[in-house]
Chains A and B, each alone.
Chain A
């Protein structure tokens, strides 16, 4: 396998956060009874004409500006023709030769630039439910506005693909373009994957993978597909150009259709829709209206607040989390570099252990900052902090901020005064004369051992720095 490199490009569909569908005024909402949000336009009834939703244009332009694309002054809607029961008109309205945005880029975690080829607008199809007695079709989703963001094949590893998708998702969520929910399908990702011998410029035969609904499945599906293609080639066979579906349960890709069966979509400009003009003055207003994007935010976290790259990336993966972080540390920026890793490790571990969702933490950040501040100031020992968090996160009877305040009141005060610590330290030193001798002979790292012994005697509720200072006084005297 090491003799090959992978070539990966992603096609991402993002559902736009509008109130109504792209070409009619039916509401866009999830759930509810089937076929209760339709009209003659999205049912494809004869004579019904599409009228474009202005908000769709605004959001697509934001997506383009946020990814460094050139927004096109004229773009054109086209018909993509195919027959399927959940596509009532017999064609999907999309954009073909003249999409709304061209030539953008995404900067990956490691600084690598992956290019975006285009962003185009299109309508979603309805939902098909396949059963033994027939296929049931619900057209509530038909006409839901999407942008498709087509990336160049610039990615080389599954991790790069995930990094690209995370960064793109962060941008779309920050801009309010899409809610970014992959499980519910409002952000969907297809991957084109091929492999080639290292050093070869020409691309291998590509395979399209669909049906990946989490970052993990994107990584696993691409990694699996790279391995499968390497096996095929090493067996002396050729890769078939085809579409494969990721089966997460079986952890493998499965053939869906081959190129010979691929449809000829016969795109042509939709005569029902005039060209979309985007005015330069309006575009300038949209550009001025952009919030701080994840890349700038990460740079600020690292440059101004002293966070490490990992914590900065982690915060920015979920824009609401970064928003809550910014609000919380606004008055205490000196604590930011301690608070971010505190959230990323201790707090996140408690959430996972207690199966609680992250948004609860966003609401509890002021209380968590208060606790982090006490911990950093030595008013809470490590063990006390761990117990406090455990108690609070296991308490589902009250909101998290209240549970944290309650656990804080139970935690008690750390022992730090000399009068209380000294007898304990004296006892520890008396108990381990051999270690004391070794320490004095130069094994200074034994200070950790003595601190640990003293801490154990004090049930973890002591100020480790005060203990270390007292130990130094006694041992180095």
Chain B
């Protein structure tokens, strides 16, 4: 089943992914996304009636760890890659709300 991807969908997806695309780029990306979706749509042809959803390809479950604290990074190490910092905090541009 072919899925139609228009410029508005691409804009919305780009916005959610924090990607900036120019209007000129939209048609190419739309076409690429349509091809990806068409590829995956092959799976629609498989009859899955009565088949339980597969939550993970591996059969084993999580192996939880014990609740024992370990020393992590120092404040200086934690902030080492921060473009800006202030008073031991990461400093980001002002966020409203």
Given contacts A256-B97, A274-B58, A274-B61, contact A36 B75 (CB under 8 A): yes
Which residues of chain A are within 8 angstroms of B93 by Cβ–Cβ distance? 134-135
A286 at the interface (CB under 8 A from B): no
Given contacts A131-B94, A133-B94, A136-B90, contact A35 B64 (CB under 8 A): no
Given contacts A25-B68, A34-B87, contact A128 B62 (CB under 8 A): no
Contact at B67–A55, with CB atoms within 8 Å?
A: yes
- A-B contacts, CB under 8 A, total: 130
A274, closest chain B residue (CB): B62
Tell me, in angstroms, the Cα distance from A84 to B74 when the chains sit together: 23
B23 at the interface (CB under 8 A from A): no
A34, closest chain B residue (CB): B88
Q: Which residue of A24, A57, A130 contacts B72 across the interface (Cβ within 8 Å)?
A: A24
A257 at the interface (CB under 8 A from B): yes
User: A16-51: contact bitstring with B at CB < 8 Å (1 yes, 0 no)?
Assistant: 001110001111000001111111101100000001
Which residues of chain A are within 8 angstroms of B56 by Cβ–Cβ distance? 76, 269, 274-275
Interface centre among A52, A54, A131, A135 (most CB of B within 10 A): A135
B20 at the interface (CB under 8 A from A): no
Q: Which residue of B18, B72, B75 contacts A26 across the interface (Cβ within 8 Å)?
A: B72
Given contacts A266-B16, A269-B55, A277-B61, contact A135 B94 (CB under 8 A): yes
Contact at A20–B67, with CB atoms within 8 Å?
A: yes
Which residues of chain B are within 8 angstroms of A84 by Cβ–Cβ distance? 95
Name the interface residues of B17-55: CB closer than 8 Å to any CB of A.
Answer: 18, 55
Which residues of chain A are within 8 angstroms of B55 by Cβ–Cβ distance? 74, 76, 98, 269, 275
Contact at A264–B16, with CB atoms within 8 Å?
A: yes
Q: Is the interface of B mostly helix, strand, loop or mixed?
A: loop
Given contacts A20-B67, A54-B65, contact A33 B75 (CB under 8 A): yes
B92 at the interface (CB under 8 A from A): yes
Q: Which residue of A25, A35, A129, A134 contacts B79 across the interface (Cβ within 8 Å)?
A: A35
Q: Which residue of A53, A129, A137, A266 contacts B64 across the interface (Cβ within 8 Å)?
A: A53
A276 at the interface (CB under 8 A from B): yes
Number of interface residues of A (CB under 8 A): 54
Tell me, in angstroms, the Cα distance from A131 to B61 when the chains sit together: 44
Distance from B44 Cβ to chain A, minimum over Cβ atoms (Å): 18
Interface centre among B18, B69, B90 (most CB of A within 10 A): B90
Which residues of chain B are within 8 angstroms of A34 by Cβ–Cβ distance? 75, 87-89
Name the interface residues of A405-448: CB closer than 8 Å to any CB of B.
Answer: none
Which residues of chain B are within 8 angstroms of A273 by Cβ–Cβ distance? 62
Contact at A132–B94, with CB atoms within 8 Å?
A: yes
Given contacts A20-B68, A34-B75, A81-B16, contact A136 B87 (CB under 8 A): yes
Distance from B56 Cβ to chain A, minimum over Cβ atoms (Å): 5
A366 at the interface (CB under 8 A from B): no
A83 at the interface (CB under 8 A from B): yes
Which residues of chain B are within 8 angstroms of A132 by Cβ–Cβ distance? 94
Tell me, in angstroms, the Cα distance from A85 to B92 when the chains sit together: 7
B residues neighboring A (CB under 8 Å): 12, 16, 18, 55-56, 58, 60-70, 72-75, 78-79, 84, 86-97
Query: Can you list 19 A-B pairs with a CB-CB distance of less than 8 A?
Result: A19-B68, A20-B67, A20-B69, A25-B69, A34-B88, A36-B75, A38-B72, A39-B72, A52-B62, A55-B66, A76-B55, A130-B94, A130-B95, A134-B93, A136-B86, A136-B89, A139-B90, A275-B55, A275-B61
